[in-house]
Structure 1
Amino acid sequence: MIIMESWFFVFGVSLILTLSVQGTHAADQPNIVFIIADDLGWNDVGFHGSNQIPTPNIDALAYNGIILNSHYVQSYSTPTRAALLSGIYPMKLGMQGPSFLAAEKKAMPPHKLLPEYFKEMGYETHLVGKWHLGYSRWNETPTFRGFDHHFGFYNSFCSYYDYLSTWRYNDHDYTGFELRKDGQPVFEETGKYATDLFTDHTVNVITEHDTTKSLFLMLSHLGVHAANKGKPLEAPQETINNFKHVVDANRRTYAAMVAKLDESLGSIVEALDQKSMLSNSIIVFISDNGAPTIGSFKNWGSNFPLRGLKDTLFEGGVRSVAFIWSPLLVQTSRVSTDLMHITDWFPTLYTAAGGDIDALDPELDGIDVWSSLVYDLPSPRNDILINIDEKTRNAGLRFYNWKLIVGTSQNGTYNDYYGHIVMENIEDVPYNTSAIYDSIAGRVIRKTNYSPLTEVEYQSLRYQATVKCTAVKKNECDPATGAVCLYDIPSDPCEENDLAKFFPSVVRRMKRALVDYRKGLIPQIEGEIDIESDDPKLFKYTWSPWLECADSSCQIA
């Protein structure tokens, strides 16, 4: 009898503990807000050293978190998003080429994506804004790929007020509406500025969130991507008027677009605080690639002083603005120069959420760096495959301090330095640390931080985060000529001094590593432009899934 009673007692305690763990699990898991700025330039945030465009909320979060100064992405939107959500190098997915186009029969391969893992852990998952991973069939769209809800658009861009996206095929323009909520067009939202609209929706998600569940919220802004060619840049005029010191009129509008992004972060931080979610939240902010200062979809962004643009493997194309902020981080208010790749967020955030890393696909290329971020421990990441594109024969690799570039894109058109050409001011503008301190984010952070930073400490971190062209000697290298370029990035972040001829053994070793990586390459996904079947006029002038759908009567399941 005593044995039986003891057994029941042990069983009862075990059951209570199990139920208790299940009941508190969601409360213990951090809320994760992952924010992507589109085509934001390296030099277009204040914490990287520029005074031209104040970004007080962004700077407040960056200074009080960890500035990730060696954070690498892909050189295009679609590959970056594929790498983020899969944790796999794009060349292993067949997605190493350019971004998807409207009406193109391409989609993200059927790998299990990050939001699907989060859903299994009890998270509520939301995507706000850009998808850009395929939409030819409904089951390629966000709510079929792990997101409970999606409010945004499927293609690369749309206009900022009327949400129209125009593409030119066969000498004809095709225009369709691009704003949807869980697959359904939301025409009633036209007239609202996109950055504000996506911010308001994000704030609403937070405000209405059931806090018995944890939240994974990915805000993928349209800003600051160029819109339709007739009017590529759009912002409220009252915001543009704040940048009368900028010489270039297009740059003024771009600056206003960045300012609206900055306001967005302040609103989101405030919403998390008012919902009492901030103390258990992780906020990540990145750009998906460098700015296209010039080119067919230029946005007048600046990657100064880095070399290259979006669509290049130079630092200006693949080294992105990035920071992480969270009360869960122990060692903060620092600038990290540890290598980090966009794929690393997959296992890192999964671990932060309490997931068992052994449950993830062992073929992931992402590396879990959560402990390194939390405690400032040495990072396990020491190399990054930047890309291998078998069509352009363009490849890049980081290995410790070294970077190797082989081949080029666009025949080397964007391999130069362009960031300075938009930086001219009518008058100098001082860096306003008081505006950072008094920003919405600055004020909210002071409530959660036991030792808030002073304005002097802001300046110190800013100095550390500002990239300086420090190469003593300059040996030019243009991979468009067939040359292989080797750079020591910590001492030459602007890629001015080619060291290939001085370190041939390093070149050989890195080329061998590229050959080894090449063995895992999946040929690029091929997909024709099927505009005849995806002509927006067939779907009430919206861009819509068209395979297995003949007209607008075909609705999301």
Structure 2
Amino acid sequence: MDKKEFRLYMMEIWLALIAFVILHSSRYGVYSAEQPNIIFIIVDDLGWNDVGFHGSNQIPTPNIDVLAYNGIILNSHYVQSYSTPTRAALLSGIYPMKLGMQGPSFLAAEKKAMPKHKLLPEYFKDMGYETYLVGKWHLGYSRWNETPTLRGFDHHFGFYNSYCSYYDYLSTWTYNEHDYTGFELRKDGQAVFDEAGKYATDLFTEYTVNTINEHDSGKPLFLMLSHLGVHAANSGKPLEAPQETINTFRHIVDANRRTYAAMVSKIDDSMGSIITALDQKNMLSNTIIAFISDNGAPTTGPYQNWGSNLPLRGIKDTLFEGGVRSVAFIWSPLLVQTARVSTDLMHVTDWFPTLFTAAGGDIDALDPELDGIDVWSSLVYDLPSPRNDILLNIDEKTRNAGLRFYNWKLIVGTSQNGSYNDYFGHIPMENIEEIPYNSSAVYESPAGQVLKKVNYSPLSEVEYENIRYQATIKCTATKKNPCDPATGAVCLYDIPSDPCEENDLAKYFPSVVRRMKRALVDYRKGLIPQIEGEVDIEAADPKLFKYTWSPWVDCADATCNIA
């Protein structure tokens, strides 16, 4: 073969490769060069064991499951152990300890706020996106310029604090043995009392669906739906759901767990409604949907919600897997290699550059100091991920720190005096084995019906079961060597072979421990001390603002308008 023939041969191969990519660039159609719509869904305090695609039979989540199976299940997706730090990391792309946000979540009336960094929605606005936040903010509101519509979101419909009740939208906090109660539902800063009485998950879903229906298709949409569910609300009625939904879970003996299951089920219904709306609006073919939990479930302790992280060790507010390894998946027709379980490391900061790239942004325009790593190509094409380590946190007050490095995980120190270190998320689990997983319900769910229509080669129920098996974690440690960092011990785990953190290997791999401790010391150099802020309840008392939780700095009473 001479050079000319060789060039022609190579050109034929190249053209064939291009044709293959075009034909197979998506299970749902050809890749669109238009900016994709992005729907980012955060569920609050959702347990690892509380979705069907992780192997649980107790709470059916067919709409969530079918999207996960047809997308990419992110089985090694890490977040922070609290709500506020996770949201800070997500919207900034920066590790919280570099922002002074590494501590506990913000309290009502606390004079703290997200530092003045350019946030993800601000970048999306620069790229021509309409930006919406629906639901929880939890990044500060002492001044109006700390609230969502002045931090990059064109519109916000939701609440500022950690939680509120699911029907009346009141949030009660106790300071100095006195209860302070205020209304917590706002639309673009204005209190919307007339929406009280509607169930929160349904209300936020309704707003999201209406936003989709009314969206100008000439502009891309970035919508973050940050659910109140399934966070516990006020003391006395921490869990709430429609009674007709609760009644469908009579197989669950524990009444609190039964209500929690209904709350998860309403989140699942929400997913079905959103996918249906996107399909009817003809937006689905050019949309990215991401779904995460902000941290593990608090199975016990303050704000207990009766969620389950089984079989993972630890709960919310720990650096064990049950606290920081979150339920997560991504679905989009723009993904080439789908219907798979990814075990590649991914951190919540990675969504910032990843979604920015997916939206057509120039990665060089981002702050080079971002901790998030662009993994869009890795997700789209199933290429090796550039992420090989994750700083789980460094908290200089509790002296608690954690690091993932390839297969290894190191934990130093503890939180809450180690109260939850040996807690594996045990809850009443009666009759679980008697309830088979209903893959037919997944297949026939509203989201399943949409995907069957738009997918030229829909997955079978057998394929669902196979993916589910791959996404189910089992405790596989051949030996058990307990380690409790509350005793001062440094704990080292090989997570792929010991996901339940039962076998401490620190004494067997001292060189790994030394290397990872040095890495923590290096990270520590970039730490900014935690933001300090007093609880200014005398000035922020809701009764001064028509009994609403409202920005109060530079505001004397309810006559203070939105800046």
Q: When the two structures are superposed, what TM-score results if normalisation uses the length of structure 1?
A: 0.95
Please give the per-residue CA displacement for 1:247-305, whole angstroms capped at 9, x wherever unaligned.
11100000000000000000000000000000000000000000000001100000000
Once residues 146 and 432 of structure 2 are traced to their aligned partners in structure 1, the CA distance between those partners, rounded to angstroms, is: 48
8 Å Cα contact 1:49-1:466 kept in structure 2: yes
Cα shift at 1:155: 0.1
Which whole-Å CA distance do the structure 1 matches of 2:262 and 2:561 have between them?
Answer: 37
Superposition misfits of 4+ residues, deviation over 6 angstroms: none
| Map of 1:420 onto structure 2 | 426
Alignment of 1:315-464 (within 5 A): 315-425=321-431, 428-464=434-470
The 3 A distance-change label for structure 1 pair 427 and 501 is closer
Corresponding residue of 1:164: 170
Tell me the residue number matched to 1:56: 62
> Are positions 1:80 and 2:86 aligned together?
yes
Secondary structure in structure 2 of the residue aligned to 1:496: coil
SS at 1:551's partner residue? coil
Deviations 1:316-343 (A, max 9, x none): 0000000000000000000000000000
- Pairwise CA distance, 1:177: 0.1
Aligned partner of 2:19 in structure 1 is: none
- 1:549 maps to which of 533, 549, 555: 555
Which residues in structure 2 correspond to 1:220-369 (within 5 Å)?
220-369=226-375
- Hey, what's the Cα distance between the residues in 1 that align with 2:508 and 2:149? 52
Instruction: Pick from 178, 192, 196 the counterpart of residue 186 of structure 1.
Output: 192
Q: Which runs of 5+ in 1 are unaligned?
A: 1-25
Match of 1:199 among 199, 205, 209: 205
Counterparts of 1:375 and 1:302, CA distance in 2: 33
Q: In structure 1, what is the Cα distance between the partners aligned to 2:169 and 2:35?
A: 36
Q: Secondary structure at the match of 1:513?
A: helix
Match of 2:96 in 1: 90
Q: Give the C-alpha shift of residue 461 in structure 1.
A: 0.4
Asked if residue 71 in structure 1 is aligned to residue 71 in structure 2, the reply is: no
Q: Compute the displacement of 1:421 (Å).
A: 2.1
- Structure 1 residue 514 corresponds to structure 2 residue 507: no
> In the alignment, is residue 534 of structure 1 matched against residue 540 of structure 2?
yes
What TM-score does the superposition give when structure 2 sets the normalisation length?
0.94
Deviation at 1:427, TM superposition (A): 7.2
Q: Give me the CA root mean square deviation.
A: 0.9
2 CA distance for matches of 1:177 and 1:136? 16
Distance 2:33 2:114 in 1: 32
Partner of 2:50: 44
C-alpha distance after superposition, 1:221-257 (max 9, x if no partner): 0000000011000000000001000111100000000
Between the aligned partners of 1:425 and 1:107, the Cα distance in structure 2 is 45
Task: State how far apart, in whole Å, the 2-side matches of 1:496 and 1:481 are.
Answer: 16
- 146, 152, 158: which one aligns with 2:158: 152
CA contact (8 A) 1:247 1:426 kept: no
Structure 2 residue identity aligned to 1:162: D
Q: Distance in 2 between matches of 1:252 and 1:337?
A: 31
- The 2-side partners of 1:419 and 1:512 are apart by 32
Q: Residue 286 of structure 1 aligns to a residue in which SS?
A: strand
Residue 426 of structure 1 and its aligned partner are, at CA, apart by: 7.5
| Amino acid in structure 1 at the alignment position of 2:511 | S
Q: Tell me if the contact between 2:77 and 2:348 (Cα under 8 Å) persists in the aligned partners.
A: yes
Aligned to 1:532, the other structure's residue is in SS state: helix
Deviation sequence 1:197-224 (CA, Å, 0-9, x none): 0000000000000010000000000000
Matched position secondary structure for 2:308? coil
CA deviations on 1:173-208 (whole Å, 9 max, x unpaired) are: 000000000000000000000000000000000000
- Percent identity reads 86
Judge conservation of contact 1:27–1:211 (CA < 8 Å) in 2. Answer: no
CA shift, 1:27, in A, is 7.6
Q: Which runs of 5+ in 2 are unaligned?
A: 1-31
CA–CA distance in 2 between the matches of 1:555 and 1:161? 26
2:85 partner letter: P
- Output the amino acid matched with 1:52: Q
Secondary structure class of the residue paired with 2:539: coil
Written as runs of structure 1 = structure 2, the 5 A alignment for 1:103-114 is: 103-114=109-120
Asked whether the 8 Å contact 1:139–1:145 carries over to 2, the reply is yes
